[in-house]
Chain A
Amino acid sequence: MKFSRGKASDEIPTASMADIAFLLIVYFMLTSTFAATRGLDFALPEDQKDTPLVDKEESVLIEIQPGGQLIVDGNPMRLDGVLDYLKPKLERNPMKPVIIRPDQNAEYGYMVAVFDELRQASEKIGLEVKNVSIPTQREIDMFWY
């Protein structure tokens, strides 16, 4: 009678390691997405009691109409002209308050576009718009009228 001698391998079998690893890669790729993780930051006043009241007459008022038309201090203006309008005012007063007031029916995207433009002031005109406020309708009702 003949017995076969089973010869055990000395090595750890790693042939399926790559399969497992690629399965994990596929899992990560399917369960997660490269989400949009960037945006414009917008700091809110820390304490409402300490929030300085901005006088309408002393500030630059940017109104945004539905459709994206801008009215700056009562005058229609294009978005690319806003910073040029602000430049002499900021040279006189670097803390010049700028108020963005979108119409309640204006599209949100236009407000973001205006805010984005103001944040780029240091690159475009060499001056920073330090004092930007976007009052909410409740604040306008409470403090402006």
Chain B
Amino acid sequence: MKLRSRNIQNQGIPTASMADIAFLLIIFFMLTINFEVDKTQVGLPKTDLRFEIPKRSAFISVTRQGQIRVSAGDEISVPVPGPEEVLSFAASVVASDPTKAFVLKADKDVPYQYVDRVIDALKQAQADVIYLLSEQATVEGG
């Protein structure tokens, strides 16, 4: 007796697991991504040491021209006319959360006087800790 096996192959690409892969990617993005509250373009200084900045930290950015933008950490940053306003901003942030970290995102080429006034305002507002935002100077771990 002769039996002929018939091999019927499915011609479609199996896409059943596509959704699973996609949802895994979504979960990855949701867990790893920080929404940037300040999109000011600055040339950050490079450092060898860098520490993770706490989430929802308050941001103060200083451009090369000395323009300052501030954000309490939950909303998009807004420009302020000068360092004097940084003091009132920082005081209100510290009043609502005394342990709030401040991130100073300043251009590496900005004259120090602008940064000095911002740091002075943060000191007067009794801010707890400042993070000087930086880029990695060398390859991590190298």
Contact = CB atoms under 8 A, between A and B. Distances in A.
Nearest to B125: A44
A22 B22 contact: yes
A29 B62 CA distance: 26
B110 A108 contact: yes
Interface in A59-95: 64
Contact of A44 (B16, B36, B111, B123): B123
A26 to B, nearest CB: 10
B interface secondary structure, majority: mixed
Contact of B128 (A34, A44, A136): A44
Interface residues of B, number: 57
Interface in B118-142: 119-120, 122-124, 126-137
B132 A28 contact: no
A108 B112 CA distance: 5
Interface string A112-141: 110110011000000000000010111100
A140 B19 CA distance: 62
Nearest to B30: A28
A28 B126 contact: no
A40 B22 contact: no
Nearest to B25: A25
Given A38-B53, A44-B123, A108-B110, A116 B47 contact: yes
B106 interface: yes
Nearest to B33: A32
Contact of A41 (B117, B126, B131): B131
Contacts of A119: 49
10 contacts: A14-B19, A18-B18, A36-B134, A40-B134, A102-B116, A108-B109, A112-B47, A112-B108, A119-B49, A136-B123
Interface of A: 14-15, 17-18, 21-22, 24-25, 28-29, 31-48, 64, 102-109, 111-113, 115-116, 119-120, 134, 136-139
Interface of B: 15-16, 18-19, 22-23, 25-26, 29-30, 33-36, 39, 44-53, 62, 103-104, 106-117, 119-120, 122-124, 126-137
Closest 10 CB pairs of A and B: A109-B108, A21-B22, A38-B50, A136-B120, A18-B18, A17-B19, A112-B45, A104-B113, A109-B45, A28-B29
